[in-house]
Amino acid sequence: QVQLVESGGDLVKPGGSLRLSCAASGFSFSDYYMSWVRQVPGKGLEWVAYMSNSNGYTNYADSVTDRFTISRDNAQNSLYLHMNSLRADDTAVYYCARNLRGYIVDLWGQGTLVTVSS
Amino acid sequence: EIVMTQSPPTLSVSPGERATLSCRASQSVSANLAWYQHKPGQTPRLLLYATSTRATGIPARFSGSGSGTEFTLTISNLQSEDFAVYYCQQYNYWPTFGQGTKVEIK
């Protein structure tokens, strides 16, 4: 079954850190660029980070640059998002996303909730 | 940042009718525009990209048009499974999404 399954969402205090994971299955993970997209509950979607399939290229939203790091392990079919210096406005559901090409998502995970609150 | 504005926020349509959703970009995004459908409790679903190219498995009742700053998603002969929130997204620059249009049963 072609799917993406996120994990790692939690309640964390402002200034804290968290690592999200995404397990891919049912397709050749190493062939695809991947991304993280978030959604504040009841609000719109925001693209967070983007990573190429093999050469390590990454790109980030201005709001998370220097705080978040996207990475992947093609041998483990896994995508990660390392989040540091978390703020209240980082509270959102974080979706793992497969890129069809460029910044077009053709497969989404169910999402994992990150809540930043004291 | 390119701001995407969708209208209307909510659209009430009867099954079998046509729904027309609009999306406006704050500056030209060429034809680099995608549409997604999102139902509660489900993952978002890619409908269209490059303004009018249907994604794999998307029925022909979904169509897209436009270019530059004005885009339209048309859903013909609305089915019960089409009631959902629809988002447009530009990818000509760093990608940004609209706030969504909820299509509800009239």
Residue A11: its pLDDT value, please? Answer: 97
Q: Are A7 and A111 in contact (CB under 8 A)?
A: no
Q: What secondary structure letter does DSSP report for B14?
A: -
Task: Give B-chain residues touching A47 at CB under 8 angstroms.
Answer: 94-97
Residue with tokens 């990150």: A114
Mean pLDDT within A96-113: 94
Nearest to B6 by CA among B88, B92, B91, B93: B88
Q: Which residues have a Cβ under 8 Å from the Cβ of A66 and sit 6 or more positions away?
A: none
Residue A102: its pLDDT value, please? Answer: 86
pLDDT value at B88 more than 90? yes
**Chain B within 8 Å of A100 (Cβ-Cβ)?**
yes
Mean pLDDT within A88-116: 95
Residue B70 CB neighbour total at 10 angstroms: 13
Mean pLDDT within A75-94: 97
Residue of A50, A96, A105 for testing the chain B interface, max B β-carbons within 10 Å: A105
User: For residue A114, what are the CA distances in angstroms to A111, B23, B54, B89?
Assistant: 10, 29, 33, 23
Residue B84: its pLDDT value, please? Answer: 96
Residue A87: its pLDDT value, please? Answer: 97
3-class SS string, A42-73 = CCCEEEEEEECCCCCCEEECCCCCCCEEEEEE
Residue A44: its pLDDT value, please? Answer: 87
- For chain B, what is the mean pLDDT? 96
User: Do residue B95 and residue A59 have CB atoms under 8 angstroms apart?
Assistant: no
Q: How confident is the model at residue B60 (pLDDT cuts 50, 70, 90)?
A: very high
Residue B91: its pLDDT value, please? Answer: 96
Residue A41: its pLDDT value, please? Answer: 83
Q: Are A117 and A88 in contact (CB under 8 A)?
A: yes
The pair of three-digit structure tokens given for residue A103, joined into one six-digit string: 């910044």
What would the pLDDT profile of A32-46 be if each residue is shown by its tens digit? 999 999 999 888 899
